[in-house]
Structure 1
């Protein structure tokens, strides 16, 4: 039975962050972030400033979605996406299943030789939190450029097999983490849904006792300026 107060995280068990998209130029002359996909989470953008686009690649093909202040865009798991910064692109990012992205629900589009096992992948993608700022930027930029190599190969591939092979490699890489992810999902999005169900059951019985347990929650960023995949992030710690 869910307690009357129930889940107290962000509505629906989402995660939120503020993103300033990288303005680093890549080899193709485009400024922006690191292409990657999520395996269990949908991602949403609320564009708060600037202009740009998100390039996406799915089994249905390649698309470009323009982004400007006021645009709301989202995509489901399996969507390879690359943010493009045309001018000061700033986004509030909403992630399904609060806590899963922080627990590794993302795989960068590295060339296949870097996707063979979790250790090889981690060596190519980890940005040490204790490294000096200039070194963290260098590593983040290098992994972005490496991911763009694999991304270009996927975009230019003839036929669906290269993308399907990347999907298989990504699923294999994250498999050891699924038990941890399931626990986070149970504490987050599942608990949020179950709390709503409990409230509906109570209201159907004419019981509004949970209304007396109303609370207001507010948080400031737990970290500012983190070198994320797509840009510099102000992040908010997920519910424990």
Structure 2
């Protein structure tokens, strides 16, 4: 993902992506699951909204919230988004490709996504990590094996959540929050440098314009990035990953 972080520049400057968002390109997994559906790993974000801009193919996103289960079709031109607390599973019907926009750049990479693993795997960070982490230095075949295994494990928990209803969902919410609590201070700092800094920069620019001060316009910058890695095994599919900054 391209990450929006606080950058050097004139007063009031923020040179990351607009609004402190992140962007990545996603090719959704075409691996069939036990239920016959091809697609990604169901999971939930705790502080980040997420948006899909569908660029190719066809599929859907299954979502589970306290309002119930829904299926949203995805086709080229569709823009779909959802807020924190939405368990989501991408379904690939035909070469589904998506540009993903993520709120609070840096937080998803820092752990603001909890897979719907069965409860015993959510007991503590070490147990969760053992079931979910893909070593970056592992051979590609091994990375794929782990990604597929954790997808299938998350589907087990997801199917239970769908079947058992609100009480099971509430218990998952509590377990997910407890799992990430040790990382909240780190998340807050990432948010401060990213999304909060972006919003604060706009406020400062408005103040300057009100005073007739246009000095921040003289510090305008243009940036462009190419992916620093291609084919990374993400939760929902293979990713084109962009450098932070």
After TM superposition, the score normalised by the length of structure 1 is 0.97
Contact 1:55 1:62 in 2 (8 A): yes
User: Secondary structure of the residue that 1:188 maps to in structure 2?
Assistant: helix
SS in 1 for 2:147: helix
SS at match of 2:171: helix
Question: In the TM superposition, what is the alpha-carbon distance from 1:3 to its structure 2 partner?
Answer: 4.5
What whole-Å deviation, never above 9, does each CA across 1:202-231 have from its counterpart, x for those lacking one?
011111111110010101112111000000
1:4-153 to 2 correspondence within 5 Å? 4-153=11-160
- Does structure 2 retain, via aligned residues, the 8 Å contact 1:220–1:236? yes
Instruction: Determine helix, strand or coil for the equivalent of 2:92.
Output: strand
Residue number in structure 2 paired with 1:192: 198
Distance between the aligned counterparts of 1:229 and 1:191, measured in 2?
A: 28
Query: Does the 8 Å CA contact 1:5/1:213 hold for their aligned counterparts?
Result: no
Tell me the TM-score normalised to structure 2 length. Answer: 0.95
Q: State whether residues 12 and 204 of structure 2, in contact with CA within 8 Å, keep that contact through their aligned partners in structure 1.
A: no
What are the Cα deviations for residues 68-107 of structure 1, in whole angstroms up to 9, with x where unaligned? 0000000000000000000000000000001001111100
Report the CA distance between 1:235 and its aligned residue. 1.2
Tell me how far apart the structure 2 counterparts of residues 205 and 155 of structure 1 sit (CA, whole Å): 55
RMSD of equivalent CA atoms = 1.0
Once residues 162 and 5 of structure 1 are traced to their aligned partners in structure 2, the CA distance between those partners, rounded to angstroms, is 46
Contact 1:98 1:238 in 2 (8 A): no
Q: Which runs of 4+ in 1 moved over 2 A?
A: 2-5
